[in-house]
Structure 1
């Protein structure tokens, strides 16, 4: 379980997040939703210890992630930021193999290579494994970065907008793979999603942020209410039930 207590992130006199407290249960898929500037990416990077909080704590299965050794945290939690910039010319397989560094320290074993192969196969990248990243489409590169994170083989996987650069078809395919990572591989997946209907369709829990605060947290059914969504996004939202699933539609 990931828990955060009185978490605050400020830059000078400007507070971008907090104070917020909450928990993300172990297992399943949790989506972070909310308007631009709500604090979603800030919260995710704090949970993944990519940045230090101004105040407050984050614990991972009871261990303070900002005080624990980096190698210990990296074996339990993997995070993918939205901005990925590799200056070196590497192949897809080489990129995915970087995910094994917390375990191999650069010396890949047969076990490491097995994790790399499984991650490539899981994201349908085996046929592209020998290509260089600059030879791929934006969507293919995004899948390669997610495969790198999955190859790290951690209990917790944090992803900042993994549907970025993906069209609807491939976005749905990515969510199906992440759903399978939770169901079949036992991962706890936490991701930022802009499409609330995608979040509702594939998540066990949804956490909504607005103005640096957690506005709501619960099951998709609990959050997919017109009044709740209209308050989160500060715009009128209707919710229809289609094939037994709630579907949110913005209206003027």
Structure 2
């Protein structure tokens, strides 16, 4: 499981995240939701050790994130940040191949190549695998980065707004791919999402954050209520029963 205990991140005397306490059982998709500045991305990047903590501890599958050697941690948890700085003369397949580095140290085996093939196919990138990243649209690049993370083949996957740059069709396809990865491949995927309706439709649990703290955690049925969402987002939200589940109406 992922266990977050008394975690604090201070940016100034007036701006801080936490203390955050959270226990995420393994399996399925867990969506971090909430307004801008709530601390979702900060919490996610601390889970992935891309940002240090000023207090508290985080453990993933029993491993202390702050103390586990990087190479060992990279076989347990993988992370995709919002900001991806890509090398333009890298092909999709080369990028996805970087996901195998913790295991191969750059010397890909036939088994590695099979995992790369699977990740490329999973994200519907087979026809693009020979293209360079600067020849792709923003959405295609985003899918390639998610494929790289899946190729890392970790039990725990952290994704910060993976729907960035994706249109409606590819956003739906991406969430279906991630749902399949969680439930078919047995991954635990923690994902930052801005669209509460996408979160309700595809996530197994929702973690609502506000002002740097977790204010609600539970199933979509428990979190997707007018009272909870109106409080979290500080705007009037009406929750209605749609054809495929609950929908938040806020416009």
- TM-score band by shorter chain is over 0.9
Instruction: Please state how far the C-alpha of 1:68 moved relative to its aligned partner.
Output: 0.8
Distance (Å, rounded) in 2 between the aligned partners of 1:5 and 1:241: 36
Q: Determine the structure 1 residue equivalent to 2:26.
A: 26
User: Where in structure 2 are there 5+ consecutive unaligned residues?
Assistant: none
1:61-82 Cα deviation digits (max 9, x unpaired): 2221111111111001000000
Q: Determine the structure 2 residue equivalent to 1:35.
A: 35
Q: Determine the structure 1 residue equivalent to 2:217.
A: 217
**Residue 113 of structure 2: SS of its match in structure 1?**
helix
Instruction: Please state how far the C-alpha of 1:244 moved relative to its aligned partner.
Output: 5.2
Distance (Å, rounded) in 1 between the aligned partners of 2:245 and 2:82: 29
Q: Determine the structure 2 residue equivalent to 1:115.
A: 115
Distance (Å, rounded) in 2 between the aligned partners of 1:221 and 1:66: 34
Q: Determine the structure 1 residue equivalent to 2:188.
A: 188
Q: Determine the structure 1 residue equivalent to 2:7.
A: 7
Provide the TM-score with structure 1 as the length reference.
Answer: 0.98
The answer to whether the 8 Å contact 2:240/2:246 transfers is yes
1:47-67 Cα deviation digits (max 9, x unpaired): 111111000000012221111
Distance (Å, rounded) in 2 between the aligned partners of 1:25 and 1:123: 26
Over the aligned positions, Cα root-mean-square deviation in angstroms equals 0.9
Q: Determine the structure 1 residue equivalent to 2:174.
A: 174
Instruction: Please state how far the C-alpha of 1:13 moved relative to its aligned partner.
Output: 2.6
Q: Determine the structure 2 residue equivalent to 1:82.
A: 82
1:26-59 Cα deviation digits (max 9, x unpaired): 0000000000000000000001111110000000
Structure 1 stretches of 4+ with a deviation exceeding 3 A read: none
Instruction: Please state how far the C-alpha of 1:173 moved relative to its aligned partner.
Output: 0.6
Provide the TM-score with structure 2 as the length reference.
Answer: 0.98
Distance (Å, rounded) in 2 between the aligned partners of 1:37 and 1:45: 14
Q: Determine the structure 2 residue equivalent to 1:160.
A: 160
Distance (Å, rounded) in 2 between the aligned partners of 1:70 and 1:27: 23
**Residue 207 of structure 1: SS of its match in structure 2?**
strand
User: Where in structure 1 are there 5+ consecutive unaligned residues?
Assistant: none
Distance (Å, rounded) in 2 between the aligned partners of 1:86 and 1:169: 24
**Residue 100 of structure 1: SS of its match in structure 2?**
helix
Distance (Å, rounded) in 1 between the aligned partners of 2:12 and 2:89: 38
Distance (Å, rounded) in 2 between the aligned partners of 1:177 and 1:98: 20
Q: Determine the structure 2 residue equivalent to 1:69.
A: 69
Aligned length: 251
Q: Determine the structure 1 residue equivalent to 2:102.
A: 102
**Residue 200 of structure 1: SS of its match in structure 2?**
helix
Instruction: Please state how far the C-alpha of 1:15 moved relative to its aligned partner.
Output: 3.5
